[in-house]
A and B are shown apart, each in its own frame.
Chain A
Amino acid sequence: MNLINYLKSKKMLVPLALGLVAFVIVIIAYSINGQVTQAVLASTIRQSTPILLGALCGILCERSGVVNIGIEGQMLLSAFMGFMVNVWTGNLFVAVLAGMATGALLGLLHAFMSVTLKLDQIIGGSVINILALGLTGFFYTAGLTTKGKLQPISLGFLAEIPLVGPVLFRNPPITFVAILLVFILQFVLFKTTWGLRTRAVGEHPRAADTLGINVFTTRYINVIMGGAIAGLAGAFLTLEAVGSFERNMTNGRGFVALAVMIFGKWSPLGAWGAALLFGFANAVQTQIQFAGTINIPHQFIGMLPYLLTIIVLAGFVGRARPPAADGEPYEKE
């Protein structure tokens, strides 16, 4: 009982319980069909990565008080630029950097519109989405493919552990970075000076201002860093997952990322949990469609991830409160 109360007070009860349920299901599934289970879990991680990265971008922006619905566009244009740079240079690393730089630049644009010009942030984000869709559509050239793709890296003996090894410890680099970022950002937001200031600016910018914290700079930096992370998500799509660029290939992931951010209560660990759930539902859905044994129109199966995510998260994860100054431009006088 004491333990339960402790976990409750630390807000760890629900995540732990969900984790435990998931763990048991996985064990049972693995004992029934090892191969399929491994495939589903590996696909869970793959599917969740871009959404997770998008959500991390959203968290940085909103924690500092800037609503960013332009994540979709940031991802899309970054995916395109990363792809094109790879096609030109043949270098994957430079291509990833180009993707991140593109995201960061769009972040800068968003920060300029919402922090300096104090435009409506929803409009600012839409501008970015439309811009990205237009630019990529216009410059899109059919038939190009990347020169190579980011390949999985095995983390030594860890990768040899059955099931866990291949799923968690044998992944391509951006996937690893995404998981690493969860922990880094969780630490930065809640344990460092920078994080404290960022959260203060998102909650009560005037109070932060009276203590000598520069609200504008703090917001700029967070939105730009968030942009770079969204850029990484774009790079993931072209350089790690697919190996080519298609029109509108983000396909709403930037918006799902926002939902995942909210379900994760604006915390990186929470968003990871929510993103994994969404990824899992997607993986199961794909598996069902592959197996083709169940005779349901595929549109309905396609709805499954969204439905499952909504039910689990709305049912088990309580209401969260967004940062108080989220979306409000700061006026000095």
Chain B
Amino acid sequence: MANKPVLESKNITKRFPGVLANDQVSMHLDEGEILAILGENGAGKTTLLNIIYGLYSQDEGDIFINGELTTINNPQDAIKKGIGMVHQHFMLVPVFTVTENMILGAEVSTAGVLNLKEARRRILEISNAYGLKVDPDAIVEELPVGIQQRVEILKALFRDARILILDEPTAVLTPQEIEELFDVMRELKSKGVSIIFISHKLKEVLAIADRIMVMRRGAVVGETFPKDTNQSDLANMMVGREVLLRVEKEEAHPKEPVFEIVDLSIQEPGQLHTVKNVSLTVLEGEILGIAGVQGNGQTELVEGITGLRSYNQGSILIDGKPMPVEKPRALVENGMAHIPEDRQKHGLVLPYPLTDNLVLCSYYEHPFVKGIVRNEDAIEEHAIKLIDAFDIRTPSPYIDAGNLSGGNQQKLIVARELSRDVKIVIANQPTRGLDVGSIEYIHRTLVEMRDRGVGILLVSAELDEIMSLSDRIAVIYEGEIVAILDAKDATREELGILMAGSRKHLSEEATA
């Protein structure tokens, strides 16, 4: 058989109210090939894949599988045709166990009665075969995001997918986990599975893809091969202009402490400490990065200091003033901005329009209220200003946040938080899921805020991001700060060793 593409789309067009999300998209995927799709936020990548997976139906165009014209009306059709998809936003039932999530829709059963034992056995078999370790009995919502992602991938493998669609699978993974994922992808590829892979990280795309397709504003704008291109060319192709891939910043001029965490500990009843005696001080005009392998207490620490979770011991201070426990509004009013890790859970009200999401922490203040009623004009004006400044791709300020593309949802949060007059910014994975152009913009904004004297606490799983933005770097391991380094002296190797758990005494001069 001459190399027929396993999957082909011809002239797919899809419109949403006010947006042309896909414009005559033609693509093909060969057997055992890894095709990377690149494109700025809102370029239409997810839309195209959702059409292939049967979640959306195209307005025009055809899909061919193994050369045959195929209509895919719903995900069931897609699954039957051997297509598996790992979605950009998790499609897991939070209160179910890993096993229940895995088998849902493809249950292992006899006469309608679940056979959980057999299901567990098969899950462990697959998870061992690909080195993707999970506890089949864990409740999904209690797992860190990285592991949840793993469950998603296993879910597709459990269904014997021959065509695997991965929509930004690496956005939430640690570098180590990304390496593991790539091993899995290569393994799958060697078994003849074809993979569509979306990522905003150019390095990854160059490392793993056989072929790269670039989309912009709904249309395919080019195709290339990793050997014929490099990061800046790709960035250029995606955004349509030169992109600065490094962060440019001057020497920091830190002043007084603006935010202090004193001896903070968090412990869930009956469990080990997730955060243990953490003390950190962020100065005005500096960026303090927290480096660490995901799942070492960063999530809990950030939730604790932003008022989303209570703590057992310790205190937090803004400008020397102690802050109440678990009172997010008090923190906001004292000048804290928070970019949360999970944008859909803690960052946005998805069924609310952009306008309302942009005033979530200030809707009750001047100028957004007049007496007891909302000042709609001011709210709209505010939204239009931010949409423009942060380049949020939306047909109107009044559509629901849930209808934005993933990266644009992130930009919406960043816009709201960084546009307020704040003293301290807690940024947890601020550029997760953003395209290179937007990352450049947000990094520049953070540095500008720093230079204006704002204190910034940056938590990121991207070592590159930590290293290029931070002035000081704190390393967290198993809930403890094991070292604080000056960013100028920190090397990748040293950080790697510290993150892996080898202790080092806090150097006196760096804590000053």
Chain A residues at the B interface, C-beta cutoff of 8 Å: 191-194, 196-197, 199-200, 203-204, 206-214, 321, 324, 332-333
Of all A-B residue pairs in the complex, the 3 with the closest CB atoms, nearest first, are: A211-B105, A212-B76, A207-B91
Q: Assess the B94–A204 pair: CB atoms within 8 A.
A: yes
Q: Assess the B112–A194 pair: CB atoms within 8 A.
A: yes
The one of A192, A196, A204 that contacts B92, using a Cβ cutoff of 8 Å = A204
Interface segment among B96-104, B201-209, B277-285, B449-457: the answer is B96-104
Per the 8 Å Cβ criterion, residues 102-125 of B in contact with A are 103-107, 109, 112-114
Bound CA–CA A197/B103 (angstroms): 10
Can you name the residue of chain A whose Cβ is closest to the Cβ of B402? A331
Which residues on the B side are within 8 Å of A203 (C-beta)? Answer: 93-96
Bound CA–CA A155/B56 (angstroms): 56
The one of A191, A194, A200 that contacts B93, using a Cβ cutoff of 8 Å = A200
Q: Assess the B105–A204 pair: CB atoms within 8 A.
A: no
> Closest approach, in angstroms, between the C-beta of B79 and any C-beta of chain A?
5
Bound CA–CA A321/B95 (angstroms): 10
Given contacts A191-B113, A203-B93, whether A208 and B56 have CB atoms under 8 Å apart is no
Bound CA–CA A200/B93 (angstroms): 6
The one of A196, A197, A209, A213 that contacts B55, using a Cβ cutoff of 8 Å = A209
Contacts A193-B114, A209-B74, A213-B104 supplied; 4 other A-B pairs, CB < 8 Å: A203-B95, A207-B91, A211-B79, A332-B55
Bound CA–CA A196/B115 (angstroms): 12
Which residues on the A side are within 8 Å of B56 (C-beta)? Answer: 333
Which residues on the B side are within 8 Å of A332 (C-beta)? Answer: 55
Q: Assess the B79–A212 pair: CB atoms within 8 A.
A: yes
Which residues on the A side are within 8 Å of B113 (C-beta)? Answer: 191-193
Which residues on the B side are within 8 Å of A333 (C-beta)? Answer: 55-56
Bound CA–CA A210/B89 (angstroms): 12
Which residues on the A side are within 8 Å of B75 (C-beta)? Answer: 209-212
> Closest approach, in angstroms, between the C-beta of A208 and any C-beta of chain B?
7
Q: Assess the B109–A206 pair: CB atoms within 8 A.
A: no
Which residues on the B side are within 8 Å of A194 (C-beta)? Answer: 112
Q: Assess the B91–A210 pair: CB atoms within 8 A.
A: yes
Which residues on the B side are within 8 Å of A206 (C-beta)? Answer: 91
The one of B78, B93, B155 that contacts A204, using a Cβ cutoff of 8 Å = B93
Can you name the residue of chain B whose Cβ is closest to the Cβ of A321? B95
Q: 15 A–B contact pairs at CB < 8 A?
A: A193-B109, A193-B112, A196-B103, A196-B104, A196-B114, A197-B105, A199-B93, A203-B94, A203-B95, A203-B96, A208-B105, A210-B85, A321-B95, A324-B95, A333-B55
Q: Assess the B91–A204 pair: CB atoms within 8 A.
A: yes
> Closest approach, in angstroms, between the C-beta of A63 and any C-beta of chain B?
12
Q: Assess the B104–A208 pair: CB atoms within 8 A.
A: yes
B87 an interface residue at 8 Å Cβ cutoff? Answer: yes
Please indicate which of the listed interface residues A197, A199, A211, A213 has the most CB atoms of chain B within 10 Å of its own CB: A211
Which residues on the B side are within 8 Å of A213 (C-beta)? Answer: 104-105
Please indicate which of the listed interface residues A197, A204, A210, A214 has the most CB atoms of chain B within 10 Å of its own CB: A210
Can you name the residue of chain B whose Cβ is closest to the Cβ of A193? B107
Can you name the residue of chain A whose Cβ is closest to the Cβ of B78? A212
B259 an interface residue at 8 Å Cβ cutoff? Answer: no
Can you name the residue of chain A whose Cβ is closest to the Cβ of B56? A333
The one of A191, A192, A212, A321 that contacts B105, using a Cβ cutoff of 8 Å = A212
Can you name the residue of chain B whose Cβ is closest to the Cβ of A202? B93
Which residues on the A side are within 8 Å of B74 (C-beta)? Answer: 209, 212, 214
Bound CA–CA A200/B114 (angstroms): 14
Which residues on the A side are within 8 Å of B85 (C-beta)? Answer: 210
B53 an interface residue at 8 Å Cβ cutoff? Answer: yes
Q: B56-95 toward A: CB 8 Å interface, digit per residue (1/0)?
A: 1000000000000000001110110000010100111111
Please indicate which of the listed interface residues A196, A199, A209 has the most CB atoms of chain B within 10 Å of its own CB: A196
> Closest approach, in angstroms, between the C-beta of A261 and any C-beta of chain B?
17
Which residues on the A side are within 8 Å of B55 (C-beta)? Answer: 209-210, 332-333
Which residues on the A side are within 8 Å of B107 (C-beta)? Answer: 193, 196
Can you name the residue of chain A whose Cβ is closest to the Cβ of B79? A212
Can you name the residue of chain A whose Cβ is closest to the Cβ of B53? A210
> Closest approach, in angstroms, between the C-beta of A9 and any C-beta of chain B?
10
Q: Assess the A207–B114 pair: CB atoms within 8 A.
A: no
Per the 8 Å Cβ criterion, residues 215-274 of B in contact with A are none
The one of A196, A209, A324 that contacts B100, using a Cβ cutoff of 8 Å = A196
Please indicate which of the listed interface residues A197, A204, A212 has the most CB atoms of chain B within 10 Å of its own CB: A212
Q: Assess the A324–B76 pair: CB atoms within 8 A.
A: no
Bound CA–CA A210/B161 (angstroms): 14
Please indicate which of the listed interface residues B56, B78, B93, B103 has the most CB atoms of chain A within 10 Å of its own CB: B93
Can you name the residue of chain B whose Cβ is closest to the Cβ of A212? B76
Bound CA–CA A209/B107 (angstroms): 15
Which residues on the A side are within 8 Å of B112 (C-beta)? Answer: 192-194
Please indicate which of the listed interface residues B53, B85, B113, B155 has the most CB atoms of chain A within 10 Å of its own CB: B113
Bound CA–CA A194/B107 (angstroms): 10
Q: Assess the A324–B114 pair: CB atoms within 8 A.
A: no
Which residues on the A side are within 8 Å of B155 (C-beta)? Answer: 211
The one of A191, A204, A210, A211 that contacts B106, using a Cβ cutoff of 8 Å = A211
Can you name the residue of chain B whose Cβ is closest to the Cβ of A194? B112
Can you name the residue of chain B whose Cβ is closest to the Cβ of A209? B75
Bound CA–CA A316/B370 (angstroms): 46
> Closest approach, in angstroms, between the C-beta of B163 and any C-beta of chain A?
15
Which residues on the A side are within 8 Å of B109 (C-beta)? Answer: 192-193
> Closest approach, in angstroms, between the C-beta of A266 and any C-beta of chain B?
11
> Closest approach, in angstroms, between the C-beta of B83 and any C-beta of chain A?
11
> Closest approach, in angstroms, between the C-beta of B196 and any C-beta of chain A?
16
Bound CA–CA A205/B103 (angstroms): 15
Bound CA–CA A206/B155 (angstroms): 15
Q: Assess the A192–B114 pair: CB atoms within 8 A.
A: yes
The one of A191, A197, A324 that contacts B104, using a Cβ cutoff of 8 Å = A197
Which residues on the B side are within 8 Å of A214 (C-beta)? Answer: 74, 76
> Closest approach, in angstroms, between the C-beta of A11 and any C-beta of chain B?
13
> Closest approach, in angstroms, between the C-beta of A267 and any C-beta of chain B?
13
Q: Assess the A200–B91 pair: CB atoms within 8 A.
A: no
Bound CA–CA A204/B95 (angstroms): 10
> Closest approach, in angstroms, between the C-beta of A331 and any C-beta of chain B?
10
Bound CA–CA A310/B96 (angstroms): 29
> Closest approach, in angstroms, between the C-beta of A8 and any C-beta of chain B?
10
Bound CA–CA A192/B95 (angstroms): 17
Bound CA–CA A55/B106 (angstroms): 30
Q: B474-488 toward A: CB 8 Å interface, digit per residue (1/0)?
A: 000000000000000
Which residues on the A side are within 8 Å of B90 (C-beta)? Answer: 207
